[in-house]
């Protein structure tokens, strides 16, 4: 079905990877054991005893390929962040991100689930999120809406774009996949949970600006992702 874009309708008043080079994480990547101290045969801890490392690497690769391909598809028909939507996001996100971000409302269709889901399930990956039922999905610097654009959903989507900008594509995809496997829940992935916390802060105190990128850097450097 061809896309019927409606890029960035002017919003009603609502009072309620990008290309920057990633910073160097000063911390070693954390590898937290899944479950109650699982052990290898030699007695050392392992991260995901229920999933082979080769399958994890494959999942990371699939996720990265999916994000890149979807970004290219939707970027061509998305529009810039402008008007009141841009004004609403000013002060929360760095200008370079807002300049490069694109938004798109789909009409008479929804974002499909990733092509790799059947393969992932065959390898034992469970609890994969149903993308078609989400309000919006971020593909690098493009936020695609299955429904009408809303300020909180837009803010949430831009948080993920900012995470990609801060940590870089390779780090983002690895942290997201490993976080998903560790939490065994899409909503408890640290990067996702942080986005929910930040969009709740945005909604609770409209107009009280804070730097999303600074919040992301603080979590990343502290190893919270």
pLDDT score, position 20: 41
* Structural domain contains residue 178: yes
CB burial readout 99-121, b (16+ within 10 A) else e: ebbbbbbbeeeebeebebbeebe
* Structural domain contains residue 200: yes
Going residue by residue through the chain, which has 225 residues, state the pLDDT in tens, using 9 for 90 and above: 445 555 555 444 443 334 444 443 333 333 333 333 333 333 334 567 668 899 999 999 999 999 999 999 999 999 999 999 999 999 999 999 999 999 999 999 999 999 999 999 988 888 899 999 999 999 999 999 998 999 999 999 999 999 999 999 999 999 999 999 998 889 999 999 999 999 999 999 988 999 999 999 999 999 999
pLDDT score, position 124: 82
The C-alpha atoms of residue 3 and residue 166 are separated, in whole angstroms, by 31
pLDDT score, position 68: 97
Tell me the residue ranges of DSSP E strands in the chain. Answer: 79-80, 102-105, 136-139, 142-145
* Structural domain contains residue 96: yes
pLDDT score, position 215: 98
pLDDT score, position 6: 56
* Structural domain contains residue 23: no
The C-alpha atoms of residue 36 and residue 42 are separated, in whole angstroms, by 17
Q: Tell me 79's DSSP state.
A: E
Number of structural domains, the chain?
Answer: 1
* Structural domain contains residue 60: yes
* Residue 213: C-alpha distances to residues 78, 110, 129, 216 (Å): 24, 29, 26, 5
DSSP reduced 3-state for 64: helix
* Structural domain contains residue 32: no
The C-alpha atoms of residue 29 and residue 40 are separated, in whole angstroms, by 20
Output the furthest CA–CA distance in the chain (Å, rounded).
61
* Structural domain contains residue 14: no
* Structural domain contains residue 30: no
Range of the domain at 162: 53-221
């Amino acid at each position: 079905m061809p896309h019927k874009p409606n890029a960035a309708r002017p919003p009603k008043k609502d009072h309620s990877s990008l290309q920057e080079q990633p910073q160097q994480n000063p911390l070693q990547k954390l590898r937290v054991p899944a479950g109650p101290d699982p052990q290898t045969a030699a007695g050392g801890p392992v991260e995901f005893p229920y999933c082979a490392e080769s399958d994890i690497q494959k999942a990371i690769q699939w996720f990265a390929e999916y994000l890149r391909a979807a970004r290219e598809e939707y970027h061509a028909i998305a529009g810039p962040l402008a008007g009141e939507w841009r004004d609403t996001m000013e002060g929360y996100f760095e200008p370079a991100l807002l300049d490069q971000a694109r938004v798109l409302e789909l009409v008479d269709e929804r974002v499909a689930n990733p092509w790799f889901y059947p393969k992932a399930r065959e390898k034992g990956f469970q609890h994969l999120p149903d993308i078609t039922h989400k309000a919006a999905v971020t593909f690098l610097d493009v936020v695609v809406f299955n429904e009408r654009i809303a300020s909180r959903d837009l803010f949430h989507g831009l948080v993920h774009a900012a995470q990609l900008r801060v940590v870089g594509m390779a780090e983002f995809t690895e942290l997201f996949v490993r976080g998903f496997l560790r939490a065994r829940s899409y909503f408890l992935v640290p990067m996702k949970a942080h986005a929910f916390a930040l969009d709740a802060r945005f909604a609770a105190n409209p107009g009280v600006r804070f730097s999303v990128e600074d919040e992301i850097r603080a979590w990343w450097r502290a190893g919270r992702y």
